[in-house]
Structure 1
Amino acid sequence: MPRKNYIYNPKPVFNPPKNEKKRSTFICYAMKKASEIDVARSSLNHTLLPIDPKTGNILPRFRRLNEHRACAMRAIVSAMLYYFNIDSKLVEASIEKLADECGLSTFSDSGNKSITRASRLINEFLEPMGFVKCRRIKNTSISNYIPKKIFLTPMFFMLCNISKSKINNYLSKKMKLSQKLKKQEKKMFISFSDIKIISQLDEQSARNKILNALINYYSASELTKIGPKGLKKKIDIEYNNLCKLYKKK
């Protein structure tokens, strides 16, 4: 590929796709933090020892960031954060997608696309420095291994000046919200489709259907605590609510 094509876009910038779902508060916070500092000139880039991901050995000869690669790094860090899944630690985007949206993809005169600028940045800098970890697949067309899945490491967030406590705090809030939603879902022990079916049954059949739903919904220990009288009371409440619901209609 001609040299002029390699630096076709000397000032790449991440442009997120339009009509994408809204990102979480943590992702928005992380992207803002990354934009406030120059990740390509972080002191970590000079103090960390580059490690060969295949052998685990220190790389004595290591290609540091020139200005073109520094520009590429600034763009791709934002893109990786944008597609980051905090639960799996996975960047949910391919290298080609990252390259395209950061303006790092290049094209030869014959129209062939190359994502070398992005893949080399990952293979030759971000991974050896410990900012990302990759799982690879064999690319038979070029007899080489390319990253298939990219995972962000704790060092990546240090690079962006994001503390571990901030990540843990977000995860804690997310877990509490999840538990709250589960409790809310638990209150709906009869599905809407079942409600429609029950409404068309005679009273005794409807009560039996509600009873079966309650038995499937509660655990054995919970049913013991509720007791026969409590169970009957719940059936009465649900049946009366059902009658009121369909009477209004």
Structure 2
Amino acid sequence: MPRKNYIYNPKPIFNPPQNKRKISKFIFYAMKKASEIDVARSNLNYTLLPIDPKTGNVLPRFRRLNEHRACAMRAIVLAMLYYFNINSNLVEASIEKLADECGLSTFSDSGNKSITRASRLINEFLEPMGFIKCKREKSISMSNYIPKRISLTPMFFMLFDISESKIKNYLSSPTKFFQKPKIQEKKMFISFSDMEIISQLDEKSARKKILNALINYYSASQLTKIGPKGLKKKIDIEYNNLCKLYKKK
């Protein structure tokens, strides 16, 4: 295979399952922030010292993010947030599940699945950089170890500008983020699956889709208050965010 084609699915995107998981307002907020900021190009990726999780020593020779790994990181950060349980501080999904839903799993000609692309990103970058912590637990009935349990660190949230103090504030006020949402907050403005569809459209069609989503999201009275200029501004913002997220040109 030519070197330029050695990566399967060079632009992975997180696609949540059809049976949508109920997420808290905090996670919704965090996912929105992570969608608006290029987490793969955060200054943290270049300023933090990578630490060997086994020895605690600084890794002098360390593989930074190339573009393919950067694309994988953008997808898996959203997936980890989607499956993150605030109370247990655990990502409630296996690495295989994360790989499958981010398009990072590959299959050989004989049909064997590989999740190496996701596991290497976790083992060789996210964990040494201190964004996550991983733990393996030995199975009682088996001689091997069950898949890693992943927890998110405050540094993970700093990738998209959520500080540790802000996290503590959220966690100390659980009712604020688990209260029954208001009518206009019951649905997402644009679902992540719809984002992917819109990202494939030309600019005119994409803006029209965003406009329709805004019309469905806001009530008639709210749209009147927003006005034509405000609506255009919101469309511009959402379209620009989509362009940044999916590198749309």
TM-score, length-scaled by structure 1: 0.64
Are 1:168 and 2:180 an aligned pair? no
For residue 107 of structure 2, what is the amino acid of its counterpart? Answer: F
Moved more, 117-126 or 160-169: 160-169
Are 1:27 and 2:27 an aligned pair? yes
What is the CA distance between 1:147 and its match in structure 2?
A: 5.1
Write the deviation string for residues 14-47 of structure 1: whole angstroms up to 9, x where unpaired.
Answer: 0011122321100000000011111111110110
Contact conserved, 2:10 with 2:71, CA < 8 A, in 1? yes
The answer for the alignment partner of 2:40 in structure 1 is: 40
For residue 41 of structure 1, what is the amino acid of its counterpart? Answer: R
Matches of 2:114 and 2:43, distance apart in 1 = 31
Matches of 1:177 and 1:156, distance apart in 2 = 20
Matches of 1:137 and 1:5, distance apart in 2 = 37
The answer for the alignment partner of 1:224 in structure 2 is: none
* TM-aligned CA distance change 1:2 to 1:92, over 3 Å: farther
Instruction: Indicate the SS of the match to 1:64.
Output: coil
Matches of 2:155 and 2:58, distance apart in 1 = 17
* TM-aligned CA distance change 1:66 to 1:51, over 3 Å: same
Contact conserved, 1:5 with 1:106, CA < 8 A, in 2? no
Indicate the RMSD between aligned Cα atoms, in angstroms: 2.8
Are 1:92 and 2:92 an aligned pair? yes
Matches of 2:19 and 2:63, distance apart in 1 = 38
What is the CA distance between 1:170 and its match in structure 2?
A: 2.4
Matches of 2:2 and 2:137, distance apart in 1 = 27
Matches of 2:44 and 2:177, distance apart in 1 = 35
What is the CA distance between 1:103 and its match in structure 2?
A: 0.2
* TM-aligned CA distance change 1:97 to 1:177, over 3 Å: closer
Matches of 1:176 and 1:31, distance apart in 2 = 17
Write the deviation string for residues 221-242 of structure 1: whole angstroms up to 9, x where unpaired.
Answer: xxxxxxxxxxxxxxxxxxxxxx
Contact conserved, 1:134 with 1:147, CA < 8 A, in 2? no
The answer for the alignment partner of 1:120 in structure 2 is: 120
Matches of 1:84 and 1:7, distance apart in 2 = 28
Matches of 1:134 and 1:175, distance apart in 2 = 29
The answer for the alignment partner of 1:76 in structure 2 is: 76
What is the CA distance between 1:89 and its match in structure 2?
A: 1.0
* TM-aligned CA distance change 1:81 to 1:10, over 3 Å: same
Instruction: Indicate the SS of the match to 1:14.
Output: coil
Matches of 2:18 and 2:69, distance apart in 1 = 26
The answer for the alignment partner of 2:59 in structure 1 is: 59
* TM-aligned CA distance change 1:92 to 1:64, over 3 Å: same
For residue 113 of structure 2, what is the amino acid of its counterpart? Answer: K
Matches of 1:35 and 1:93, distance apart in 2 = 20
Aligned length: 176
Contact conserved, 2:137 with 2:146, CA < 8 A, in 1? yes
Are 1:136 and 2:136 an aligned pair? yes
Identity of aligned residues (%): 84
Gaps of 5+ in 1: 179-249
Instruction: Indicate the SS of the match to 1:93.
Output: coil
Larger radius of gyration: 1
What is the CA distance between 1:137 and its match in structure 2?
A: 5.0
Runs of at least 4 residues of structure 1 off by over 4 A? 1-6, 144-147, 175-178
Write the deviation string for residues 196-238 of structure 1: whole angstroms up to 9, x where unpaired.
Answer: xxxxxxxxxxxxxxxxxxxxxxxxxxxxxxxxxxxxxxxxxxx
Larger RCO, structure (CA 8 Å, separation 6 or more): 2
Matches of 2:12 and 2:171, distance apart in 1 = 32
Contact conserved, 2:154 with 2:163, CA < 8 A, in 1? no
The answer for the alignment partner of 1:103 in structure 2 is: 103
Gaps of 5+ in 2: 179-249
What is the CA distance between 1:175 and its match in structure 2?
A: 5.4
